[in-house]
Amino acid sequence: MTGVEWHLDLIRCPDGSLLLAVWEPKSARLEREVVTRSGRMGIVRALDTILQRTFDFRPETIVTDNAISWSGVADALGLKHRFVMAGNTALERIARQLLANLADEA
């Protein structure tokens, strides 16, 4: 692993909204942003919002599963893209915990 990697996942909330979860494993930093538009452009906008908020902390690579929704996201932002197999990854466990926390807040 070289450079900063951000691990991305999409979380469907109980109210139907979609969240983009971004985790940077070296610092354990977690960011989230609501995806307000469907498809790749919605993900790009949400990720761009996070990038603007964390301008001092830009990744070199995004890491995702191989779902079609990630197609073109890295290219649109000028980042590298690495794929991992979907399953019980650290980010997916964090996403489930984030979802549980959101449900508790409701």
Q: What is the pLDDT of residues 38-91, one digit of tens each?
A: 888 999 999 999 999 987 778 999 998 888 888 899 999 899 999 887 776 676
What confidence tier does 28 reach under pLDDT thresholds 50, 70, 90? Answer: confident
**Helix, strand or coil for residue 5?**
strand
Assign residue 41 a region (left: φ > 0; alpha: ψ between -120 and 50; beta: otherwise). Answer: alpha
pLDDT at 1 (0 to 100): 46
**Residue 71 and residue 68: Cα distance in Å, rounded?**
5
Q: How far is CA 60 from CA 2, 5, 42, 50, 80, in A?
A: 8, 6, 21, 14, 6
Q: Does domain 5-105 have CATH number 3.30.420.10?
A: yes
The C-alpha torsion from 101 through 44 and 4 to 86, rounded to 10°, is 60
Q: Where are the domains of the chain?
A: 5-105
What confidence tier does 36 reach under pLDDT thresholds 50, 70, 90? Answer: very high
Q: Note if the pTM is more than 0.85.
A: no
